[in-house]
Structure 1
Amino acid sequence: MASIPPYLLLLSLLPLSLSTQSPTTNAPNLIQRTCNSTTYYDLCVASLQSDPESPEADVRGLSTIVVHLAIFNATNTSSFAASLAPSATDPSLRAVLRACAAKYSNARQALQWSLDALSTESYDYAFVHVSAAAEYPNVCRVLFRHYPRLTYPEEMARREEALVHLCTVALEIISLLG
């Protein structure tokens, strides 16, 4: 069975209030030019076009949109990990899932701090906070490696990949700003 591209997984997790709008004439060009500077062009375009604010956004606004999507991912993944913990019969698995939920919550907080930095045009700080957020999911994966008998849930791996890719796109857009 073919792997689902991370950007499609991300879009399936977007809130129902987000919808694709017909962008203004300038918006697609800015989105495409901006996304051309990123590693994950398809994810970048799909993410930005999914937000109704993107047609009026400048590059800083586009970075903010991607960070908001990363916050959404981190929040959902934290909740997902926390929801798995109570039904885990293995105490080690329960503890690791709770720790993962906390790590994704930390990622959400770091991303929130990056939004604060973006709003004050402190792009270096925004970059640092997004970089930190991208590392928290890796900590979750490492926790699972400490217990070889535990299997890293496939859904967690997909969500981790989506968050890391969103953070990569955000970092690459922030790099255009400063």
Structure 2
Amino acid sequence: MTGLKSYAMNMVNSKQFDDSKVKEALKDCVNFYSHGIDSVMVAIMAYRVKDYRTSNVQMSAAFDSAFDCEDGFNERKGLVFPLKKLNQIMIYVNELPLYFTYVLSNGATGGGGDFKGTCRKCAKGDPNISYDFCVTSLQAVPKSHNSTLKELGLIAMKLTKTNASSTKSFIKNLLKNKKINPHDKLALQDCIEVYSEAIDLLKEAMNDFKDKQYSEANIKLSSAMDSSTTCEQGFNEKKKGKMSPLTKENRNLFQLAAISLSIINMVGGKSYY
């Protein structure tokens, strides 16, 4: 990770990247990698004194730095991620110590947070949430296997934001097709706008959630969730009977946002399960 940080710093100073947005994203990556390095050092110290839970939490934080770096590029319009290959190598390298600290943590503490149990509650309380989808989504993030309910809420919201950013990039690629018909083009342009707004709302919702402003987080997350419906309906409004090419993406955003909302309500004491 130290080598990757140095490489990113060299890219910041390189004349090869004159685009201010690229340099800004690279500087963010340097900061993310710096925090990741600090987390690894804390994880090593915790591991030496057999504090495996702390070690696992810190390794998870280091693991997240790679995703945070890539997310920064996805959230900025039209940027190609120049660290993709090296970033992926770092993820692979971190997976093994992350797994071992997770196993040792479970052996030492009797298991971590029950994210599957949380998914059962989410699915039971909201018919729009699929239990299998919830489990598959959360278990893809190693940190979720040993998280508190509040940590799961942040993980779910981050997944929602990542999904929105990826869908926005996917829409931009669809718009590059010169053969696209005018109705689809208008609908996709509308989707770009609502997804951009959703990403901003999700960032604000995450900050509100961290500050225990659960009602504010709920309102903003609900608005972000509506973006998927607005996007989907836009195709039929532009041309009756027109099928949306984003049905799967919109559905995924809707479910991830619904899962996040459900967990916010549990953390905020508004659970009715």
Please indicate the TM-score interval, normalised by the length of the shorter structure: 0.7 to 0.9
2:259 to 166, 169, 175: 169
CA distance in 1, matches of 2:243, 2:172: 14
Q: Who is 1:160 aligned against?
A: 250
Q: CA deviation at 1:85?
A: 1.3
Q: Residue 238 of structure 2 corresponds to which residue in structure 1?
A: 147
Specify whether residues 171 and 75 from structure 1 end up closer, same or farther in structure 2 by C-alpha distance, changes over 3 A only. same
- Secondary structure class of the residue paired with 1:38: helix
Matched, 1:84 2:174: yes
- Cα-Cα RMSD: 2.4
Residues 1:97 and 2:188 aligned together: yes
Normalising to structure 2: TM-score of the pair?
0.54
Offset, 1:149: 5.8
User: Following TM superposition, by how much is the alpha carbon of 1:100 offset from its aligned partner in structure 2, in angstroms?
Assistant: 0.7
Q: Distance in 2 between matches of 1:124 and 1:97?
A: 31
Runs (4 or more) in structure 1 with deviation over 6 Å come to none
Residue of structure 2 in register with 1:31 after alignment: 115
- How many residues of Structure 1 are paired with residues of Structure 2 in the alignment? 163
Secondary structure class of the residue paired with 1:71 = helix
| Aligned AA (1:50) | A
User: How far apart are the structure 2 equivalents of 1:149 and 1:131?
Assistant: 27
Partner residue, 1:44: 134
Q: Looking at both structures, which has the greater relative contact order when contacts are Cα pairs under 8 Å and sequence separation is at least 6?
A: 1
Instruction: After superposition, give the CA deviation of every residue in 1:3-57 in whole Å (9 maximum; x if it has no partner).
Output: xxxxxxxxxxx98649694563422x52122222112322222222211222442
CA distance in structure 2 between the partners assigned to 1:48 and 1:94 by the alignment: 33
**Overall identity of the aligned pairs, in %:** 24
Q: 2:206 aligns with which of 115, 119, 138?
A: 115
Report the TM-score when normalising by structure 1.
Answer: 0.80
| Cα distance in 2 between the residues matched to 1:38 and 1:84 | 33
Q: Residue in 1 aligned with 2:224?
A: 133
Letter in 1 for 2:231: C
Instruction: Supply the distance in 1 between the matched residues of 2:132 and 2:164 (Cα, whole angstroms).
Output: 20
Partner amino acid for 1:26? G
Structure 1 gap ranges (5+): 1-13
Counterpart of 1:70, as a letter, is T
